[in-house]
Amino acid sequence: MPLLETIGVKVRFGGNIALDDVSISVEAGSVTGLIGPNGAGKTTLFNTITGLQPLTSGQIIFNDKDVTKEPPHKRTRMGLARTFQRLELFTTLSVRDNIRVAGEIRNRWSLRTSKMDVNAETDRIISLVGLSDVADREVGEIPTGKARVVELARALMIQPTLVLLDEPASGQTEEETGQFGQLLRDLAGEGLGICLVEHDMSLVMQVCETIHVLDFGRMIASGSAESVRNNPTVINAYLGAPESVG
Amino acid sequence: MQTFLQYTILGLALGGAYFIAASGLVVTYTTSGIFNFAQGAIAMLAVFTYWQFRWGWGWPAPLALLMVLGILAPLLGAVLYQVVMKNLRGTSEVTKIIVSIGVMLGLQALATWVWNPTSSTPRQFQKFFGPNAFAHFGSLRVPWHIIISFIIAIAIAVGIRFLFVRTRSGVAMRAVVDDPELLQLNGGRPERLAMISWAGGSFLAALAGILIQPMIGSAMSAGALTLLVIDAFAAAMFGRLRSLPRTFMGALIIALTTTYVVAYFPSKWTWSSSFRNSLPMIFLFIILLVLPQDRLRGATVLRLRERFRMPSIRTAWIAGLTMMIVVFCLKVIMAKTGVNTLTLALTFAIIALSLVLLTGFAGEINLAALSFGAIAVMVVYHFGISGTGTEARTTLWGILLAAVVTALVGALIALPALRLRGLYLALATMAFGVFISRMVLTERTEREIFGLKFTLFPTGQLSIPRPKIGPIDFNGGDAFLLLCAGLFVVIGIGMVYLRHSGYGRRLTAMKDSPAASATLGMSVVRLKLSIFMMSAAIAGIGGVMMAAQVGTVNSDRFDIFLSLALAMITVVGGIGYVSGALFAGIFLIAFIEALNLMLKKFAVDYSSLEAIFMFFISAVTVLPATIGITMGKNPSGAVSDIVEGMNKVKQSKPLMITVIGLEAAIWALTATEVITNWHFVILTFANLILVPIVGGKFLMARAMRGVPKPVPPELIGIDRPFTDEDLAAMDQALNLDGVVIPSSTTLREEPANASA
């Protein structure tokens, strides 16, 4: 049973169909890629999964429960976390406080038995994701690549079972991306489900076991990294049909 | 039947006028994204100007109309946009709201300045075609003015609809809000279109004002006229600031209901006229309550221009102690009137603290802080006073009870806040404020509910004595001053503690990104309720202190315009800081008062220049609003500038010693009555503001000597040769260290990279 399943998700903005009959699944303990050209609907799909965007039709199943009608915070409390492509950091807090407040929010809703020691956990996560050098800076002052890592760290603070990452590596240097890929594999190894939207194909190919490809709101391919890489429809979607390139 | 028809026609015409004003709001909002709180003030100004032309100077009506509607009103709108509103892109919603409130207060002050409300002859405004021009429909007599109003409303409705849907510039106007940059790329000129829409919106406001004024038939009053058009806000909300047909419907429903209340409520219901007046606000509140939930947004503007640095707890204690010492020193040298003014200023500062907590910390808005004060004062008046005559004192229990009651009312007002943010919330609180002013503070008659007899606001005056807490009696002016200062410091330090707590961080998270907070599992209900309750309680306590300082308060003390001015000045001071609240109280009460006194004294001392000083005294009434309007330029507030200056002082020991030494000397001279209090005020200002600036410049110049001037990046390579350090600096700035620039081969291997 997959950790997360979307079944026939459709989202319509006025006359535009942003997502059309999209069904994907994400397994626990693995990294699933979600790729596609700009405007393919990847972020919209994340928004529907987290509940920020109501869907026109379709279903979202998380942890064997239909969460289609649940508000965002309820879904999070079931173990779903995410990062944002357009950064949604708490801009008036420091890096450390951005991460710490996530733990504090979590302690407000978690069961009494599973309350965490927020300060200790903050320190652990900061060193885990490698933010120690910027931990006490203002979050507005650090480079975008680092800021995306802060988003990940914040998401990890709620101890999720599934985390949706929206272009976490853009703005990162090649070296940082390498470390980041290793981090994702480690996290998946510990049992975390990860769904990754990313344009950096080397990272995607390196860490994802399964990949779903979206184009113009439709799913055009889905399968193992190898099969997707060689799928002619996918290549067309990215590069355009051969004659139009010609 | 006759009555029904008569009132229906009146209601339709009034509804027509409401619609015209509301459509102006919709037009400016859809094209510039700014909700024009000044709409009512523009209407009011147009009415006064028209009166001046038509009856003051006796111009013929068509000429006066052409002048006001054809030239002045559109010009005012265009100028407002060009000078003020244009600068507001990229600022937070709070700043936008505050600036447009500043315009509203400014226009109002201007009108009272030009058309002195205390002049002996009341200004009357007549219907078009005279008061006796009636059209006859069978037995029914309808004034032509009424018929014309309704016809114009329909014409405007059809016209605007046509403009927006059928014409190119109308479509472009709608595009401005959706994406000004995209429109610009497509050859549209968003700035010009927005300016035109402001001119149009201002025209519509003026038209509505001129049509409405004769229908109410009373003498013209700036405040009443401004608020009258605020009734149109409800209609605009009915159409959710988008749909004109729904706005039209809303305007008609509101106008008809109010006229039917006048027609059919039995005359023995003494509250029906207050009820009629507050109906539009009740409508507005209900509409806001049933509006569908805002979609959870993140920070829509990526980087807001506002920046607030959080002071440490240590700084807060130092600041609090300093403030107590300063207040104590001032008390020693000040005359009794000075003590009174300072106390009043501090009570307002306490009320402003409630705004800092709510808006600065939590990002919610309350435009009716003083209305909470009014509620608290009523509670204290009825339940919190022991003793009579000169022995009467406000009890601690009374103050606490007042805080509890206002907190509960705060929770009620938070209901719309649970689902709405920004503008809608601002409107809901404003509706509440106007409702309190019109419905509750006008309650002079005794009511009986369930056998309980009470009068909410007897004789329009409430006497609130100074408090006595435990064994300590704060009846004396000095003791009460210290109490208010202490209260401010305690609440202020408490707020800094709060800000540093987990609760404070969660508030900040909710303010900075509601979307991210929700996806971390935060449910905002309890957080929002609690912050509203806390803020309301602080406003309530401040209100009680204010009333206790004044002694006897009437409903004017809790006027909605005063609430708006306080909110505006707090934002000017710096809504994110405790010191912003202090600035608000001192500026709004003490500074304006001191300026007035000083100018009056000069006017007496130098009688040959009296006219000039009298002019300045009038100008002072416009001052707060003018400062509010400049917010667009410096959204972080004045305090942040002052703090910057102070930081310079803090960094440099000699400068700090100079400033403190000078201040001590000035104080000593005043205390020994060598110099007067006026000199003290002026010298203190000079010392605190000018010395750091001049001294800072001097120190900076000394420090910079010998250091080469930095070359701006675009001139590197032109003014001086390009070095490896420059390259490294640029790589670091762009976060590119270690990036290998991809060659064509790596690109071919990874086709996806190319399109990304």
Q: Give the model confidence (pLDDT) of A39-80 as tens digits.
A: 888 999 999 999 988 889 999 999 989 999 888 999 999 999
Q: Do both B358 and B478 map to the same domain?
A: yes
Tell me the nearest-neighbour CA distance from A113 into chain B, angstroms: 18
Q: Do both B626 and B739 map to the same domain?
A: no
Q: Where are the domains of chain A?
A: 1-79+161-246, 88-159
- In the stretch 42-101 of chain A, residues with CB closer than 8 A to chain B read 50-53, 71-73, 76-77, 80-82, 84, 86-93, 97, 100-101
In a domain, B42, yes or no: yes
HSE (CB half, 13 Å, CA atoms) of A212? 22
Q: Do both B674 and B727 map to the same domain?
A: no
The 10s digit of each residue's pLDDT in A149-163 is 999 999 999 999 999
pLDDT of residue B298: 47
Task: Please give the single-letter amino acid code of residue B130.
Answer: G
Closest CB from A72, A104, A157 relative to B502: A104
- In the stretch 501-530 of chain B, residues with CB closer than 8 A to chain A read 502, 505-506, 508-509, 511-513, 515-523
Entry pTM: 0.85
Range(s) of the domain holding residue B578: 344-513+523-651
Residue of A nearest to B306 (CA): A92
Q: Do both B504 and B440 map to the same domain?
A: yes
The 10s digit of each residue's pLDDT in A198-211 is 988 889 988 998 99
A93 contacts B298? CB cut-off 8 A:
no
- Best of A85, A90, A115, A146 to substitute, by most chain B Cβ atoms within 10 angstroms, is A90
Q: B264, B280, B314: which is the final residue of a domain?
A: B264
d(CA B214, CA B567): 33
Partners of B16 in beta bridges? none
d(CA B429, CA B424): 9
In a domain, B98, yes or no: yes
If you average pLDDT over residues B430-440, what whole number do you get? Answer: 87
d(CA B699, CA A122): 42
Six-digit token string for A194: 């990860």
The 10s digit of each residue's pLDDT in B223-267 is 888 887 778 888 888 888 877 888 889 999 999 998 888 888 887
Q: B264, B281, B313: which is the final residue of a domain?
A: B264
Q: CB of B367 within 8 A of CB of B563? A: yes
pLDDT of residue B754: 43
ipTM of the complex, rounded to two decimals = 0.90
HSE (CB half, 13 Å, CA atoms) of A125? 27
A37 contacts B519? CB cut-off 8 A:
no
B519 contacts A76? CB cut-off 8 A:
yes
Closest CB from B506, B515, B735 relative to A145: B735
Q: Do both B735 and B634 map to the same domain?
A: no
Closest CB from A80, A101, A155 relative to B509: A101
Q: Do both B611 and B680 map to the same domain?
A: no
Decide which of 3.40.50.2300, 3.40.50.300, 3.30.470.20, 2.20.25.10 is the CATH code for A1-79+161-246: 3.40.50.300
User: Structural domain tally of chain B?
Assistant: 4
B298 contacts A88? CB cut-off 8 A:
yes
- Highest averaged pLDDT of the listed ranges B276-285, B483-492, B725-734: B483-492
Closest CB from A73, A158, A175 relative to B523: A73
Q: Do both B223 and B348 map to the same domain?
A: no
In a domain, B219, yes or no: yes
Q: Do both B159 and B32 map to the same domain?
A: yes
Phi-psi region for residue B17, left (φ > 0), alpha (ψ -120 to 50) or beta? alpha
Mean pLDDT of chain B: 82
d(CA B97, CA B85): 11
B736 contacts A108? CB cut-off 8 A:
no
Q: Do both B647 and B662 map to the same domain?
A: no
In a domain, B338, yes or no: no
Residue of B nearest to A145 (CA): B735
Q: Do both B127 and B249 map to the same domain?
A: yes
Q: Do both B606 and B658 map to the same domain?
A: no
d(CA B713, CA B733): 11
Q: Do both B458 and B598 map to the same domain?
A: yes
Closest CB from A73, A174, A201 relative to B521: A73
B516 contacts A90? CB cut-off 8 A:
yes
Strands A193-197 and A65-66: unpaired
pLDDT of residue B503: 93
